[in-house]
Amino acid sequence: MDQFDFRYLTTVVFTSIFGVFGIYHLLSFVVLKHRLLLYYFILILGLTLHWSLYFFLNGAFGGEFAVLADKASLTTAMITTSGLLLFTKSYLNITADNHPLLSKIYKVTQQIVVGLPVLHITNHLTAQIGWLNDSLVLMAAFMAMYAILLNIFSGIRLFRSHELNRYYLYSYTPILMAALLYIGTWFAKRYYDFDVNPILLTTSILVTFQLILFSLIIGFKYKAIEEQHMQMQVNANKRLEAEVAKQTADLQMAKKALEDQNEELEKINQLKNKLFSLLSHDVRVPLNNVVTIIELIQQDIEDSELKPITENLKNEISDKVSMVNDLLKWSYQQLDGVGMDKEECDLNKVLESIKDEFSRMAQDKNITIEMEVSQPTLVIDPTMLKVVLRNLTSNAIKFSDNGQKVVLWSQKQGEHIELGVKDFGMGMEKDWYQRLQNDKRPEIRKGTKGEKGTGFGLVIAKDFVEMNGGQLICESEMGEGTNFILRFPANSDNTTSQTKTSNSPVHSF
């Protein structure tokens, strides 16, 4: 086989090999849409075009095509160099964010590599300056070698940044040797005449081997990318699980809050039931009936001594009916849930109104109602407060003997504001509070004159005090009397000053 046939054969074989590699990676890019494959295709395209120029350089297609092929060799070499730069930059993940200086060097190098063919073609089509053409050809050879050295430097520089970068540096030996042989032969051929076929064959084999190695490291790269995506998916799933767990916890908290709210609504509903039971069955109807009976009796009575007694009795019962009607009216306004309308109450006026309201009841037992007010104001629902005080005052009079006294009092005690009703009568057992906690009606007892009660009063009093943020406390001893204390925190709503410092012994017996 002569020299021409051997060169032609090697050109056909290796051009075909490069072409197959190029088509395969172009199709891979179309499917996978990854830029690394596109840059690798540009590299292989440049090699294929550069190796195929021999078909024209040997003159088989005429002298004009041979000249054109010689001029095109710079462009095909720069296409190869450009593809190699892009491929390396993408594979080593060199970006302006993580490696700004190196990325800028690649950008400038890429611009020079692209600009050389443009200047070369422009010169050929216009001025056709010989020395400029030679200078551009030499510069192209220099840029090809510089690009290879830059890629080696980048591989060394980023050797430890990622495990795959080591594979790139290890696989770079064939193309480095091929470049040195090819460019060295190109320079030597300009000055000496020798057989280049063995060198070209060696270069072609090295380049083919390099393409195989690059294809392998691309496979490793994709495997790493797949593992990275899987890890990202795992992390995303973990974050999603954590978010679901958090949302679940929030829902459980919301459920608990809703259950607590429902429980509170149930308590409110029970309170309304107690309230209406007291008003409708135990108090209002019997009192109205008594008033009617007294009015009928007054129409027939002629004894002048009995008329004042019946008139006082009628007035006293009418007062109670009025009180109950006011309470019932207020209760109907709260059918959607027992509500509160807090305001700053003048305790002097409130306690004075309670004293006046029960004055006739106290006179019947010769009981004195006294007031000891050292804390003048309290922020509270006034209607609820009056309901509580009416009940406690009525009980105090009911369970006191003739000639005793009842004290309506208020004071500032440390971090609390306290007010209450104190008597010195029968006293009561201390288990009443436990009965209230169990939602049971306190034991019904008769007063000192046989007065009867429903037992619901303390239940409602306790509920109303607690709804206003307070506590109902009972200090009592059998035969010594009872002191009911309404204790409220002296918070921002209750920051009024006392009119005087109180050392009133209202808590002791």
Give residue-wise pLDDT tens across range 356-398: 988 888 887 899 999 999 999 999 999 889 989 988 998 889 8
CA 349 to chain centre: 51
Stretch (H or E) spanning 105: helix 100-125
Q: SS3 string of 428-447?
A: CCCCHHHHHHCCCCCCCCCC
Instruction: Indicate the number of domains in the chain.
Output: 2
**Would the pLDDT of 43 be above 80?**
yes
Q: Which CATH number belongs to the domain containing residue 444 in this structure?
A: 3.30.565.10
The domain boundary, picked from 155, 170, 185, lies at 170
Is 487 within a domain? yes
Q: What is the pLDDT of residue 56?
A: 75
Range of the domain at 481: 340-509
Query: In the structure, what pLDDT confidence band is assigned to residue 103 with cuts at 50, 70 and 90?
Result: very high
Query: In the structure, what pLDDT confidence band is assigned to residue 476 with cuts at 50, 70 and 90?
Result: confident
Strand, helix or coil at 476? strand
CA distance 178 to 107: 25
**Would the pLDDT of 477 be above 50?**
yes
Q: What is the pLDDT of residue 188?
A: 78
- Sorted by sequence, the CB contacts under 8 Å of residue 300 that are 6+ apart come out as none
- State residue 440 phi and psi, 5-degree precision: -110, 150
Nearest Cα to 294, choosing from 313, 321, 319? Answer: 313
Mean pLDDT for the chain? 79
CA distance 58 to 276: 117
- State residue 337 phi and psi, 5-degree precision: 135, 130
DSSP state of 425: S
Of 121-135, 257-271, 408-422, least confident by mean pLDDT is: 257-271
- Sorted by sequence, the CB contacts under 8 Å of residue 379 that are 6+ apart come out as 342, 343, 344, 345, 493, 494
Query: In the structure, what pLDDT confidence band is assigned to residue 158 with cuts at 50, 70 and 90?
Result: confident
Of 111-115, 153-157, 432-436, least confident by mean pLDDT is: 432-436
- Sorted by sequence, the CB contacts under 8 Å of residue 27 that are 6+ apart come out as none
**Would the pLDDT of 438 be above 80?**
no
Is 469 within a domain? yes
Strands 368-373 and 405-413: parallel
DSSP state of 373: E
Quote the pTM value.
0.46
Provide the H-helix boundaries in 333-380.
347-357, 359-364
Give 473 or 324, the one with higher predicted confidence: 473
CA dihedral (123, 125, 130, 131) in degrees, to 10, reads 0
Is 200 within a domain? no
Residue 8 burial (CB < 10 Å; 0-12/13-18/19+)? middle
**Would the pLDDT of 504 be above 70?**
no
The domain boundary, picked from 120, 144, 170, lies at 170
- Mean pLDDT on 318-347: 66
Is 198 within a domain? no
- Mean pLDDT on 394-419: 91
Q: Residue for token digits 């290890």?
A: 170
For 6-66, give the DSSP string. Answer: HHHHHHHHHHHHHHHHHHHHHHHHHHH--HHHHHHHHHHHHHHHHHHTHHHHTSTT-HHHH
Supply the angle between the helices 163-170 and 130-157 in degrees, to the nearest 10: 140
Q: How many CB atoms lie within 10 A of CB 431?
A: 10
Residue pair 354/479 in contact by the 8 Å Cβ criterion? no
Is 238 within a domain? no
Give 196 or 93, the one with higher predicted confidence: 93
Q: How many CB atoms lie within 10 A of CB 321?
A: 17
Q: What is the pLDDT of residue 508?
A: 39
Q: What is the pLDDT of residue 236?
A: 83
**Would the pLDDT of 221 be above 50?**
yes
Supply the angle between the helices 63-91 and 100-125 in degrees, to the nearest 10: 170
Q: What is the pLDDT of residue 329?
A: 53
Of 75-89, 170-184, 278-292, least confident by mean pLDDT is: 278-292
The domain boundary, picked from 143, 170, 197, lies at 170
Query: In the structure, what pLDDT confidence band is assigned to residue 336 with cuts at 50, 70 and 90?
Result: very low
CA 150 to chain centre: 49
Is 423 within a domain? yes
Is 321 within a domain? no
Q: SS3 string of 138-203?
A: HHHHHHHHHHHHHHHHHHHHCCCCCHHHHHHHHCCHHHHHHHHHHHHHHHHHCCCCCCCHHHHHHH
Is 290 within a domain? no
What percentage of the chain exceeds 90 in pLDDT?
A: 19
**Would the pLDDT of 134 be above 80?**
yes
